[in-house]
Chains A and B, each alone.
Chain A
């Protein structure tokens, strides 16, 4: 016989209490210090873990229900994409390069975040925190899987998607994102929360998943829009968790303030450097653009980041150290990185190209103070060389920043005609940096960053400088995956298949 439910359903706050904090218990056989050995060494003082509260008050039962719904929506669109030649519906084959950066650099980062949250969910003593971290660990592996799954549809037809894991580990422009996550994962649990919850979620993903995905929609790529927005619906929760963690640390003890401020300084700059790749995707790799990188940074960086720091000022937090340098770099970075990708395009698992007249007109309009003055002349020179049959190639290897691992291609914050280069000598060895921000990060933790694995030194240490061997090692197929888009196999196939799809001949 069915039992009749007599009790009234629990309210949201009551349910949250029962299904998170009431799951905890006081240990009897071991001390809390033995069970949670990593909770104190970073210096963060916590007096009452029960003060931690998820503002969404999401409990596991509701979590499964809504995540299942998101997955059903996602797979309905992925099926439709595969059934309807979705790979031919994109605006232009150039757009594929943005997807390749995404798959090689970002999706493996989601997987790294999954591993990190599985770990810190175990390391934090608070039950509310453990539950939130467990949900986030599951979210992150879902993101990695759905992204890889969605993009596998493109791998059937185009080059550069086939070996994203090797590209992620070994390819020079991807180790930028890899080093960000390795840095976070080898930090303590509280710093990890700032690295991912604040820097990756709050600073990065809004720019990556919101204007970029809206751009994917504009470019006819429903598969990417779907995984992007599906992932970002979780990121809203993750950002809230990251912000909650910052407020929690600041409210627990005044001694936590300088530690938290130091992490915000470090991870803002680390995140901003990873955004260099995103800026290039937005300004150069989307054939149809919703907004420029500069416009997106205004909304999600300046306005939203500014609002956050103003809010945190009540705890004594100030905007991060690199804030002003970031503002100065915003009108330059996408151009500098695209020029870098183009001149080293023999060594990229994606195609780059010289912007068309129409693209350059758009870039001039969006970057009125910088593009025509500093970057148009370079592109026009490169175009002239290409017309003479001499593609501009830089066969020298890029010098990489020891901290962010980007090639040192940026200019001085106050002089865009001067290359920016910093160096530090530590224990008799010289280390190079792209900026003051990266130099500061290194100098605060030199023992950590001298251990960084950098792809260019590895080419010599492990492969004797042999470019052919290196290409095999990074699973780059010369003449297929790399080089200029114009004349590539991807271009030929995209145009031929699209022609077949729109005619009967």
Chain B
């Protein structure tokens, strides 16, 4: 089993996004470091547009993630509704 991760800048825009990721991925571990937040999960992490919209209170395009994205690890698959990070089992 390998760790996938996503790191986002720590700011007002990402706070609700991080909360949404925590809701959708209860197995994920959130590490808060200076100026950044790194979220690790075993093998798979799913980021859902719908959950972010509920947290942020407005329409959200998943590609907006690029603005505050710092780095990630894992194979990426993105469509309109979800962004998935995974390693082959």
Contacts and interface: CB of A to CB of B under 8 A. Distances in A.
Interface string A58-79: 1000100010011001000000
B55 interface: no
Which DSSP category, helix, strand, loop or mixed, fits chain B's interface?
strand
Contacts of B69: 233, 236
Contacts of B34: 214-215, 217-218, 290
B80 to A, nearest CB: 5
Contacts of B87: 307, 310-311
Given A307-B87, A311-B87, A214 B74 contact: no
A210 B7 contact: yes
Which DSSP category, helix, strand, loop or mixed, fits chain A's interface?
helix
A232 B9 CA distance: 10
Contacts of A303: 2-3
A210 B71 contact: yes
B71 A311 contact: no
A78 to B, nearest CB: 16
A308 B34 CA distance: 26
Contact of B77 (A55, A73, A217, A314): A55
Interface in B58-75: 63-64, 66-75
B73 A210 contact: no
B72 A310 contact: no
Given A206-B71, A233-B70, A239-B71, A310 B2 contact: yes
B23 interface: no
Interface in B24-77: 33-36, 63-64, 66-77
B79 A12 contact: yes
A213 B36 CA distance: 9
Contacts of A290: 33-34
A196 to B, nearest CB: 16
A214 B35 contact: yes
Given A13-B79, A56-B78, A57-B78, A66 B71 contact: no
Contacts of B75: 55, 243, 311
B77 A66 contact: no
A394 B2 CA distance: 46
A233 B35 contact: no
Contact of B88 (A69, A73, A236, A314): A314
A73 to B, nearest CB: 7
Contact of B67 (A233, A304, A307): A233
Contacts of B80: 11-12
A308 B78 CA distance: 19
A233 B68 contact: yes
B69 to A, nearest CB: 5
Nearest to A219: B34
Contacts of A12: 63, 78-80
Given A11-B80, A57-B78, A214-B34, A235 B66 contact: no
A355 interface: no
A237 B7 CA distance: 13
Interface string A285-310: 00000100000000000011011101
A132 to B, nearest CB: 13
Contacts of B63: 12, 56, 58, 62, 66
B2 A306 contact: yes
A304 B77 contact: no
Given A210-B71, A236-B70, A314-B88, A55 B78 contact: yes
Contacts of B3: 303-304, 307
B2 A311 contact: yes
A99 B48 CA distance: 38
A298 to B, nearest CB: 12
A62 B63 CA distance: 8
Contacts of A306: 2
A399 to B, nearest CB: 36
A412 B33 CA distance: 35
Interface string A237-270: 1011001000000000000000000000000000
B35 A229 contact: yes
B7 to A, nearest CB: 6
A237 B73 CA distance: 11
A307 B9 contact: no
A66 B61 CA distance: 11
Contact of A66 (B9, B66, B70, B72): B66
B66 A233 contact: yes
Nearest to A222: B35
B33 A237 contact: no
Given A214-B33, A306-B2, A209 B67 contact: no
Contacts of A308: 73
B74 A307 contact: yes
A312 to B, nearest CB: 9
Given A11-B79, A214-B36, A229-B35, 12 more contacts: A12-B80, A69-B67, A209-B71, A214-B34, A218-B34, A225-B35, A229-B9, A236-B72, A240-B72, A290-B34, A304-B73, A311-B87
Interface of B: 2-5, 7, 9, 33-36, 63-64, 66-80, 87-88
11 contacts: A12-B80, A13-B79, A55-B76, A209-B70, A210-B70, A213-B35, A229-B35, A233-B67, A240-B72, A304-B3, A304-B73
Interface of A: 11-13, 55-58, 62, 66, 69-70, 73, 205-206, 209-210, 213-215, 217-218, 225, 229, 232-233, 235-237, 239-240, 243, 290, 303-304, 306-308, 310-311, 314
